[in-house]
Amino acid sequence: MNKIIILPSEISQKIAAGEVVERPASVIKELVENSLDAGASEVKVEILDGGKKLIRVTDNGQGMSREDAQLCFARHSTSKISREEDLFQISTLGFRGEALPSISAVSRVTLKTSDGKEEKGTQVDREGEVLLNLSDVAFPRGTSVEVRDLFFNLPARRKFLRSDKSELSLIVKYLTFVALSCPEVRFSVAHGKREILNCPPVGSLRERIFQLFGKSLLETLMEVDYEENARRINGFSSRPPSGKLDKALQYFFVNKRPVKDRILQVALNQAYRGFLEKDTFPEAFLFLSIPYSDVDVNVHPAKAEVRFRDSQSVFHLILRSIERSMLEESKIKEIYLIHDKEKTGYKIEEASQAQLFRTPSEGKLDWKEVSFPSTTGERSSPRVLGQYLDTYVIAESPDGLLIIDQHNAHERILFERYREINDKKSWPQKMALIPILFELSPSQVLNLENNQTLLEEAGFRVEAMGGRSYALKEFPDIFRTEEANEIFLALLEEIEINKIQDKKRSLLATLACKTAIKAGQPLSLEKMEYLVEELFKIPDSSLCPHGRPVVVKIDKAQIEKGMKRS
């Protein structure tokens, strides 16, 4: 008997849809891409219940004729490519002709469109695979696609969706990304009655960054513009030595397409190695323009990744473009310093370009008094022998040598302490004398709202000041005023990516990490002794809160064997 059947289209469509449509944010991504491909100068996104109940994307692009409005729901229907060769010259965001059929296979869809040529616009209503209605509608030139009850016919998928708030925050993250890619397009986003984003068209990336992230971020950036062999990189990235405590603000675009790409990320981080304050990461808004034939966007059904024909050269292009901009910046800086010198007599001639940027080894986050009360009394912990590479504490125990990672160890100690304080709900707080003002991006605003209680429990109290401005009024007294804001923002990013039940733990782990002594910092004997003593008070202290080892032990027996003594 035959075992093989050909799946009915109802099932195969749902399988295919699963590759493109994972969650509300992926529906929005596809619809907004279509609007941009249609040349829209305005894109309006409306959402209900985190996009689970309703998503409506309306644009003023070129619209569709009656025939196209019907055809667009067929699998592999596209106006963007027609020949195999076109696959290697893709200049549009879409090209696979899969989005609309996929979306409509798993939701209730209403499409309204008009190309402005025919007298009447067209309305199409569908439910899953079924066409419910095709009719005239009065509609201005452009298109509106309404997607209701996502996954209504795929309950298993629906269950995988996160809370409305989390879905909304993913949507806003994506829309922020895409809004950066085309400053000339107006973007507005509303969740129910609440306006989340409204960016009127502007003439430059700089202005769009200002709209989305505010003035303070712009001030930390330098301009990047570099061209070589018909390949260009332009945009903005961190002006050394200021970096961010997290990697959330690294945006890359390849031929205007927002992409997530490892090669670009690694190149960026490498370009900044040694130029940023310790444990901080560069921010980047970088546009790479390369010949279409040098990049394959047909790697993934959701087109989130790209493949470069020559990734090596792309890597070097990023390195060089950042180096160039740093050099330019350092020249500017030098002028300031020379100016200062005239006033102060301070000599800078010997300082090399690079040194101008490098931060002193003390690092920014220093030992906190709270971490080091003076140690008295008997010591039963291993005896400290010294420090290696300014990174490891070497100690002696009865049965071997201990190599202790100073950062991981301190992190673990602080984590335990913070956990204790947190359990008692008694974070010693510090009031900011002058409230620390900062501006949040739309997705950070949502994130703050979703986690406010948790952050307050950890000692951070924030007040809304209107618009997307906030003031940090209180923070844990283990921080200096200058660093409180930055740590708060890093926490905000950190807790967002974690599941609800892990949030508190991850928040405390981040606090511990950010306040712990760094690698590469010379320590006095007393500090090392304190560190070792505290560490060995903790039962099972072999891992840091992020799961990295704290201690490596070399057994006495192993040493003796090596020395051929046993």
Write out the residues near ligand ADP by the rule CB under 6 A.
30, 34-35, 38, 59, 61-64, 72, 77-80, 94-100, 143
**Partner interacting with residue 62 (select from ligand ADP, Mg ion, none; CB below 5-8 Å by kind):** ligand ADP
CB of 148 to ligand ADP, least distance (A): 17
Residues ≥6 apart with Cβ < 8 Å to 231: 288, 289, 290, 291, 294, 313, 314, 317
Q: What type of residue is 484?
A: A
The residue (of 134 and 394) whose beta carbon lies closer to ligand ADP is 134
CB of 107 to Mg ion, least distance (A): 16
CB of 255 to ligand ADP, least distance (A): 16
**Given CA atoms 274, 276, 278, 282 in this order, what sign does their dihedral have?**
negative
Q: What type of residue is 141?
A: R
CB of 199 to Mg ion, least distance (A): 22
Q: What is the CA radius of gyration of the chain?
A: 28
DSSP conformation letters of 403-444 = EEEHHHHHHHHHHHHHHHHHHTT---EEEEEEEEEEE--HHH
The residue (of 9 and 542) whose beta carbon lies closer to ligand ADP is 9
Alpha helices in 38-162 (DSSP H): 66-71, 99-105, 155-160
User: Residue 365's closest CA among 517, 237, 207, 171?
Assistant: 517
* Span 72-101, contacts to Mg ion by CB under 5 A: 94, 99
The residue (of 295 and 395) whose beta carbon lies closer to ligand ADP is 295
Distance CA 191, CA 208 (A): 21
- Contact track, Mg ion, 97-126, x by CB under 5 A: --x---------------------------
Assigned token pair, 504: 């508190």
The residue (of 28 and 64) whose beta carbon lies closer to ligand ADP is 64
**Omega of the bond leading into 442 within 30 degrees of 0 (cis):** no
**Partner interacting with residue 506 (select from ligand ADP, Mg ion, none; CB below 5-8 Å by kind):** none
Diameter of the chain measured on Cα atoms = 97
The residue (of 99 and 535) whose beta carbon lies closer to Mg ion is 99
Q: CB pairs under 8 A, 24+ apart, for 8-17? A: 9/129, 10/128, 10/129, 13/75, 13/101, 13/102, 13/105, 13/129, 14/105, 14/106, 14/153, 14/154, 16/75, 16/98, 16/101, 16/102, 16/105, 17/101, 17/102, 17/103, 17/105, 17/106
Q: For residue 183, state whether it binds Mg ion (rule: CB under 5 A).
A: no
* Span 20-59, contacts to Mg ion by CB under 5 A: 34
The residue (of 145 and 490) whose beta carbon lies closer to ligand ADP is 145
**Partner interacting with residue 61 (select from Mg ion, ligand ADP, none; CB below 5-8 Å by kind):** ligand ADP
CB of 302 to Mg ion, least distance (A): 11
Distance CA 237, CA 250 (A): 9
CB of 69 to Mg ion, least distance (A): 14
**Partner interacting with residue 143 (select from ligand ADP, Mg ion, none; CB below 5-8 Å by kind):** ligand ADP
The residue (of 110 and 541) whose beta carbon lies closer to ligand ADP is 110
Cα angle, residue 73 at apex, residues 164 and 48 outer, rounded to 5°: 20
CB of 295 to Mg ion, least distance (A): 18
Q: Site size for Mg ion, by CB under 5 A?
A: 3
Residues ≥6 apart with Cβ < 8 Å to 69: 111, 113, 122, 124
Q: Which residue is nearest to ligand ADP (CB)?
A: 94
CB of 69 to ligand ADP, least distance (A): 8
**Partner interacting with residue 458 (select from ligand ADP, Mg ion, none; CB below 5-8 Å by kind):** none
**Partner interacting with residue 63 (select from ligand ADP, Mg ion, none; CB below 5-8 Å by kind):** ligand ADP
CB of 81 to Mg ion, least distance (A): 11
Q: What is the DSSP letter of 158?
A: H
The residue (of 114 and 521) whose beta carbon lies closer to ligand ADP is 114
Residues that bind Mg ion (CB under 5 A): 34, 94, 99
